[in-house]
Amino acid sequence: MNAQSMPMTVRPEDERATLSEVLRGHGVGPTHQRIEIARALFSRMTHLSADQVLAAVNQRHAETSKATVYNTLKLFVEKGLVREVIVDPTKVFYDPNTSPHHHFYDVETGEITDIDGDRISILGLPALPEGKVAAGIDLIIRVRGAA
Amino acid sequence: MNAQSMPMTVRPEDERATLSEVLRGHGVGPTHQRIEIARALFSRMTHLSADQVLAAVNQRHAETSKATVYNTLKLFVEKGLVREVIVDPTKVFYDPNTSPHHHFYDVETGEITDIDGDRISILGLPALPEGKVAAGIDLIIRVRGAA
DNA sequence: GGTGAAGTTAGACAGAGTCCAATTCTTATC
DNA sequence: GATAAGAATTGGACTCTGTCTAACTTCACC
């Protein structure tokens, strides 16, 4: 089971256990803090910045430090649980949807919306530079309110 | 005449005049500082961050403040003289090539390379969100050294 | 219950970018 | 060329995101 296949609704008493399994399945030892951070991301299935994750976690009950949120988000990226979305020059967003997809980014509101990967084909994708491998492909369509 | 059609080599005594014309043609009043910043970008035709622009300008002779570099780069973006490239979570790069194109970004070295827009076709581009207009389309291919 | 490794923490720190009030420059007009 | 008004520039303080470190806590295992 991976993050994408996690049921959208689970009985509250099962939620922690389910999240623990998701973490373990990605080679991440489950701790209170990591479970809370995973819940913040996966229960919303939306793009959150580090400070939004921190706020969401601490609003609930669990005191979690800034350092742990940053450590954990970096770990989740390494382990493939979430994906970094770099569209806003001021902060990184974390996307719990790790399937191939692209992004609309509203430069005025900061809102990020997914574009399913299979709705787009990219033809003539150039050969990667010598000795390099792909680490991610993201088509970013910046939009703003009509004039 | 626009930035792209500016001759790659000009007689030094004409360079300031040429850059002045480019700026004026984009509705930007030419000042010493703006000319120096434009020269830093257009003489290299490469992707520079704000601090690289600052270093390039001040290395030459013209003392220019950090605030002016940031003000000017923002103005250049508004006026279509350069394009922001947002691929690195720690800083924005400015690209003097404003024709439609995409980017390779090496996550290990930080190197950015252009991909000509006409080498790639994007099929099935989804409709923009209601009431929105496109502000930029950038396919970012992140690469890293092979394992 | 003891031990070591893994995880968490507060708070200091670094770097990019913003803001502001004071100064300097540009430009239009005479 | 002098002048005045608006535009541009400036240093420095400031904000914010993210990193680092050394101490502390938790956990698994014996």
Given this model, what pLDDT does residue A79 score?
95
Q: How far is the CA of B34 from the C1' of C17 (A)?
A: 19
The reply to whether ipTM tops 0.95 is no
Encoded amino acid at B75, one letter: L
Q: What angle do CA A14, A19, A24 make, to 5 degrees?
A: 125
Given this model, what pLDDT does residue A125 score?
86
Q: Which residue of A has its CA nearest to B136?
A: A142
- Three-state DSSP at A111 gives coil
Q: Where in chain A is the domain with CATH 1.10.10.10?
A: 12-92
Q: Compute the average pLDDT of residues B134-142.
A: 94
Q: Regarding beta strands B112-116 and B101-106, do their DSSP bridges make them parallel or antiparallel, or are they unpaired?
A: antiparallel
Given this model, what pLDDT does residue A63 score?
83
Q: For residue A87, which residues of chain B lie inside 8 Å, CB to CB?
A: 86
Beta bridge partners of B116: B101
Contacts (Cβ under 8 Å, ≥6 apart) of A30: A19, A20, A23, A24
Please determine, for residue A146, whether its predicted confidence score (pLDDT) is greater than 70: yes
Helix axes B50-60, B66-78, angle to 10 degrees: 120
Please determine, for residue A6, whether its predicted confidence score (pLDDT) is greater than 60: no
Beta bridge partners of A106: A143
Architecture of the domain defined by A12-92: Orthogonal Bundle (1.10)
Residue A133 confidence class, pLDDT cut points 50, 70, 90? very high
Q: Compute the average pLDDT of residues B129-138.
A: 93
Distance CA A105, CA B135 (A): 9
Tokens standing for residue A17: 């256990």
Q: Regarding beta strands A101-106 and A132-145, do their DSSP bridges make them parallel or antiparallel, or are they unpaired?
A: parallel
- What is the gyration radius of the CA atoms in chain B, in angstroms? 17
Q: For residue A91, which residues of chain B lie inside 8 Å, CB to CB?
A: 89
- Three-state DSSP at B19 gives helix
Residue A124 confidence class, pLDDT cut points 50, 70, 90? confident
Are A4 and A99 in contact by the 8 Å Cβ rule? The answer is yes
Distance CA A77, CA A70 (A): 11
Please determine, for residue A147, whether its predicted confidence score (pLDDT) is greater than 90: no
Please determine, for residue A25, whether its predicted confidence score (pLDDT) is greater than 80: yes
Sign (positive or negative) of CA dihedral B12, B13, B14, B19? positive
Are B48 and B63 in contact by the 8 Å Cβ rule? The answer is no
Q: Compute the average pLDDT of residues A117-132.
A: 89
Chain C positions under 7 Å from a protein CB? 6-12, 15-20, 25-27
Q: Regarding beta strands A101-106 and A91-95, do their DSSP bridges make them parallel or antiparallel, or are they unpaired?
A: unpaired
Please determine, for residue B7, whether its predicted confidence score (pLDDT) is greater than 60: no
Given this model, what pLDDT does residue A128 score?
92
H/E segment holding residue B121:
strand B121-123
Each residue's pLDDT tens digit, A31-72: 999 999 999 999 998 999 999 999 999 988 878 999 999 999
Given this model, what pLDDT does residue A131 score?
93
Tokens standing for residue B7: 């001759």
Each residue's pLDDT tens digit, B22-57: 999 999 999 999 999 999 999 998 999 999 999 999
Please determine, for residue B140, whether its predicted confidence score (pLDDT) is greater than 50: yes
Residue A1 confidence class, pLDDT cut points 50, 70, 90? very low
Encoded amino acid at B67, one letter: A
Each residue's pLDDT tens digit, A72-92: 999 999 999 999 999 999 999
CA neighbours within 13 Å on the CB side: how many for B42? Answer: 27
Each residue's pLDDT tens digit, A96-113: 999 999 999 999 999 999
Encoded amino acid at A116, one letter: D
Q: Compute the average pLDDT of residues B128-135.
A: 92
Please determine, for residue A7, whether its predicted confidence score (pLDDT) is greater than 70: no
Given this model, what pLDDT does residue B1 score?
45
CA B27 to the chain's CA centroid = 17
Q: Answer yes or no: do B137 and A133 touch at CB < 8 A.
A: no
Q: Answer yes or no: do B86 and A89 touch at CB < 8 A.
A: yes
Tokens standing for residue A110: 């900061």
Are B16 and B60 in contact by the 8 Å Cβ rule? The answer is no
Tokens standing for residue A5: 């296949």
